[in-house]
Amino acid sequence: MRGISPGEIPLLVARDVETVKREAKIIIRISRTRMENVWRNPDGRLGVIAIIGPGEFQGKTYDKAILCEVGIGVSRPYHEAGKPLNSLRNGETAKIQRRWKWFSLTEEQYLAVSPILFLVFQKLTNEKVATWKKGFFSDDPFLIPTARNYFSRHQKKVFSVNSRKPQPSGTRFAVSLNNLLLARDIFWAEFNNSFTVYRLKGLARFLDLYLSWLNGNKYPIMKVSKVRERNIWKSLGPLSSKSPHLVPELLAYLPKRRLAFSYISDLVGNSGETFERKLANSALPNPEARLNGISIRITTGISSKRDHIVFEVAPRADS
């Protein structure tokens, strides 16, 4: 690697481990085959969950290395971070240096640690939500402004309604795409999230109804007018801008040989599965057992400008 000699690597690996042991909010220690322990660092000033264990890099084995980092809230994995100024100790700098992404969890290690990791996500989310003045756990839930489009056949018009609906807001986490096994499970969780499925089914019903409406014609509509196209894009807007990987998923809920199916097929093209869907489909077997019912929504997806994705975990009253 440019600027780093082979002799420096063990020193940097050890430095990174000591950094997260001293500064990370939560540390998980694993062996080659099993979980060892999880602990909270009461003095932690780095908003990450750090997994430490034996790893291999460039043919050399290390007994202790950072195998995975997950950012909590606004923190980002492996990134440089600032320390709260009122927490600085004598001689300390105001920054926590970045850590190197040289290691990854093996499949055996991931299978051992992932059920605990998802429980940690859920626990942190529930703890944070419980401190809010109102929310998921109260009789006075958060009301989120929510836009909804619906088509009235009677009035022959598409209506846009803004209403305030109770929705569970949760805690956000960030994971590096370098930690591929975890990223695969996160995308699997989003695609199989009941809220995601409900949202896609509702949008598919709207599209099919709207594009099947004859508008006084005797024969089925063969192409989409400019007016209908504008209304469709208005309905697809939030999905296509924030979660474009979910747009092709509409095809699974649209009747084949109907205009809506043809329109969405043309819209997404013949590129096959999205990269996000491929990640989800390549998750290790039995992901639902590892996820333990957690509800995940991707809020910041894959981009060439970022080295991580951000996802939100919804609170759960029974955990």
Please calculate the CA angle 113-114-115 and round it to the nearest 5 degrees: 100
DSSP string, 108-177: HHHHHHHHHHHHHHHHHHHHHHHTSSSSTTSSS--EEEEEEEEEETTTTEEEEEEEEEE----EEEEEET
Amino acid at 139: D
Distance separating alpha carbons of residues 239 and 233, to the nearest angstrom: 10
Checking if the pLDDT of 31 tops 80, the result is yes
Parallel, antiparallel, or unpaired for β 35-40 and 46-57?
unpaired
DSSP string, 84-126: PGGGPPTT--SEE----------HHHHHHHHHHHHHHHHHHHH
Checking if the pLDDT of 129 tops 60, the result is yes
Residues 6+ apart with CB under 8 A from 139: none
Confidence (pLDDT) at 199 = 85
Confidence (pLDDT) at 238 = 75
Question: Which residues on adjacent β-strands are paired with residue 60?
Answer: 57
Question: Which residues on adjacent β-strands are paired with residue 143?
Answer: 166
Residue with the bigger pLDDT between 171 and 226: it is 171
For residue 41, give Cα distances in angstroms to 15, 27, 29, 127: 18, 7, 13, 16
Residue-wise pLDDT tens digits, 37-90:
999 999 899 999 999 999 999 999 999 999 999 999 999 999 999 877 767 776
Confidence (pLDDT) at 232 = 80
Parallel, antiparallel, or unpaired for β 35-40 and 24-30?
antiparallel
Helix axes 107-130, 180-191, angle to 10 degrees: 60
Residue with the bigger pLDDT between 260 and 64: it is 64
**Cβ(39)–Cβ(26) under 8 Å?**
yes
Where does residue 221 rank: exposed (0-12), middle (13-18), buried (19+ CB within 10 A)? middle
Task: Tell me what the mean pLDDT of segment 6-13 comes to.
Answer: 92
Confidence (pLDDT) at 144 = 47
pLDDT band, residue 187 (cuts 50/70/90)? very high
Total-model pTM = 0.84
In this structure, of 31-35, 81-85, 154-158, 309-313, the range with the lowest mean pLDDT score is 154-158
Helix (H, G, I), strand (E, B) or coil at 29: strand
Task: Tell me what the mean pLDDT of segment 266-279 comes to.
Answer: 84
**Could you tell me the residue ranges of all domains in the chain?**
6-103, 143-313
Mean pLDDT (the chain, rounded): 84
Counting every residue written for the chain, the total comes to: 319
Confidence (pLDDT) at 155 = 53
Please calculate the CA angle 55-302-116 and round it to the nearest 5 degrees: 45
